[in-house]
Amino acid sequence: MSWKEAAEPVLSRMPVVERPAGHVPFRRKLTWTAGILVVYFFLTNINPFGLAVGQGSDFFGQFRSVLAGSSGSLLQVGIGPIVTASIVLQLLGGANLLGLDTENDPRDQVLYQGLQKLLVVIVTALTAAPMVFTGAFLPADPAVGQALGIGTFGVKALIFVQIFIGGVLLLFMDEIVSKWGVGSGVGLFIIAAVSQQIVGGFFSFSALGARGFFANWYSIATGGTQLGSPFTSAGLESLLFAPGNILALFTTVFIFGIVVYAESVRVEIPLSHARVKGARGRFPVKLIYASVLPMILVRALQANVQFVGQLLSSQWAGMPTWLGVYGEQGQPTSGLFYYLNPIQQPEQWMWFRGAATGEPWMIAIRLAIDLTFMIVGGAIFAIFWVETTGMGPEATAKQIQNSGMQIPGFRRNPQVVEKVMERYIPQVTVIGGALVGFLAVMANLLGTIGSVSGTGLLLAVSITYKLYEEIAEEQLMEMHPMMRQMFGNE
């Protein structure tokens, strides 16, 4: 008996959001998308019952904009389990260890979707359990245990159930958006998380916490805050960093502009219809062909590595110093986990300002590892993403063949079209993945408005751009119903 036959009774019965029977009107799609977004914001503002609010550490704080969660809320784990499950399945699928034909076999498609859901549920439990039961991240309130008569362990179990349910809800909310809304739920949640930080970074006032960019400059303009002369080191530092934050503003605008520009740079392969004369088109191979979504996989892998280091440090009193030495704030100060910890803010590498941890040579090694990991990892995961999402040369050639199109001057043969695509897609995929990784590191080094991570800002801008394109396509198909048949949505 193969593993598919053994697992089919379980995987085929995993809960699933039913697909719409026919065309979903554009307004209804927007309603579903907006409704899920409201639910997401609602869940991020609910604290689990029994949690000792204001205590514990938020290790995933530096990855929040990528994992789209909220510390101390029902969505503590964010999209981390979904991304981790995707990494595992991509690695297994890339090595052809699953033996599933998700393109042609409907049975294998059901098994793959069920396996992905089961893996997400398992990873959600494995991620939430250490956060709750170690007490370092989500400490339980002993007073609640005494009042209910269930003890501290009972309160921890209650918190774990709530966090677990929140993670599973996020999985199905993503599926609802993908099938009934516009775009994907994962992308929508990332935009929501990053937008919160950016809006707060621009418009928040001291009464709401840390002052934002406009509040700082209002104080500077009215004389409440003194910058000093920009020709002195202290005045220049105040202008570039806090409270002026000019460098963060420049980085935010620059990243926004470069991503929009990169999304518009493309190689267009001419196409013509084999039977309809005059029917022509173009197949665009964008510079960021694999999109920036593979960056989620890279950062999630780094987050999981650092999470393991945190657990070892909190639970293993005799952990060797070469593995890592952790400070009072729960961040590594030396050892292997220090060098593997990505740089998220300018203060983490600017030793000349006196805020960085470690000697200059240690910071240089850490920066080199982070840059190499992001560039190489971005290229590798971009290749995996293209191959597993049907964007590779072979899959693209089949799509062009099935649509009745052909490349002028070449025989109408899938192998011929595939060879033409192999001239562009693999190279552009690697270059785009490496470019996105480089931009993410540069944004982290210079800082952004709202302390958004470089990866989070890249993701938000790129996903918003693609969401705009999808909305424009939906409006076009709504105005011209015949276009739905051409796009295969009818």
pLDDT given at position 354 = 63
pLDDT given at position 170 = 93
Provide the angle, in degrees to the nearest 10, between the axes of the packed helices 185-203 and 26-44: 60
C-alpha distances in angstroms, 486 versus 236, 275, 473, 482, 483?
57, 15, 12, 7, 5
269 sits in the region (left: phi over 0; alpha: psi -120 to 50; else beta) called beta
User: Torsions phi, psi of 330, nearest 5?
Assistant: 80, 15
CA distance 377 to 434: 8
3-state secondary structure of 489: coil
Peptide bond into 243 cis (omega under 30): yes
pLDDT given at position 489 = 53
Instruction: Name the strand (E) or helix (H) holding 119.
Output: helix 106-133
- Return the amino acid letter for 142: P
CA distance 325 to 312: 11
C-alpha distances in angstroms, 477 versus 19, 23, 473?
19, 10, 6
pLDDT given at position 55 = 63
pLDDT given at position 174 = 92
pLDDT given at position 486 = 47
CA distance 402 to 414: 9
3-state secondary structure of 52: coil
Sheet containing 266-273: which strands, arranged edge to edge?
A: 280-286, 266-273, 405-406
**Degrees to nearest 5, angle at CA 39 with 38 and 44:** 100
- The answer to whether the beta carbons of residues 138 and 48 sit under 8 Å apart is yes
pLDDT per residue, tens digit, the chain (490 aa), is: 577 788 888 888 888 888 888 778 888 999 999 999 999 999 988 989 988 876 656 656 666 667 787 888 898 888 888 888 887 887 777 667 777 776 677 888 888 888 889 999 999 999 888 888 876 678 888 888 888 888 889 999 999 999 999 999 999 999 999 999 888 888 899 888 888 888 888 888 764 556 788 888 888 888 878 887 877 877 888 888 878 888 889 988 988 888 888 888 888 888 877 666 666 778 888 888 877 777 877 887 888 888 888 888 877 777 888 888 887 667 788 888 889 888 888 878 887 766 677 788 888 899 999 999 999 998 988 888 887 777 888 888 888 877 777 787 777 777 888 888 888 888 999 998 898 889 888 888 888 888 787 778 888 888 888 888 888 877 776 665 554 554 445 5
CA distance 81 to 87: 10
Domains of the chain: 3-15+26-192 (1.10.3370.10), 245-490 (1.10.3370.10)
3-state secondary structure of 78: coil
Instruction: Name the strand (E) or helix (H) holding 336.
Output: helix 336-340
Burial class (CB in 10 A: 0-12, 13-18, 19+), 226: exposed
- Non-local (6+) Cβ contacts of 389 within 8 A are none
- The answer to whether the beta carbons of residues 370 and 335 sit under 8 Å apart is no
Radius of gyration of the chain (CA): 25
pLDDT given at position 345 = 81
3-state secondary structure of 411: coil
Residue among 458, 445, 448, 457 nearest 251 (CA): 448
Residue among 189, 170, 76 nearest 128 (CA): 76
pLDDT given at position 31 = 92
Residue among 120, 132, 135 nearest 158 (CA): 132
CA distance 19 to 310: 41
CA distance 129 to 163: 9
- The answer to whether the beta carbons of residues 251 and 443 sit under 8 Å apart is yes
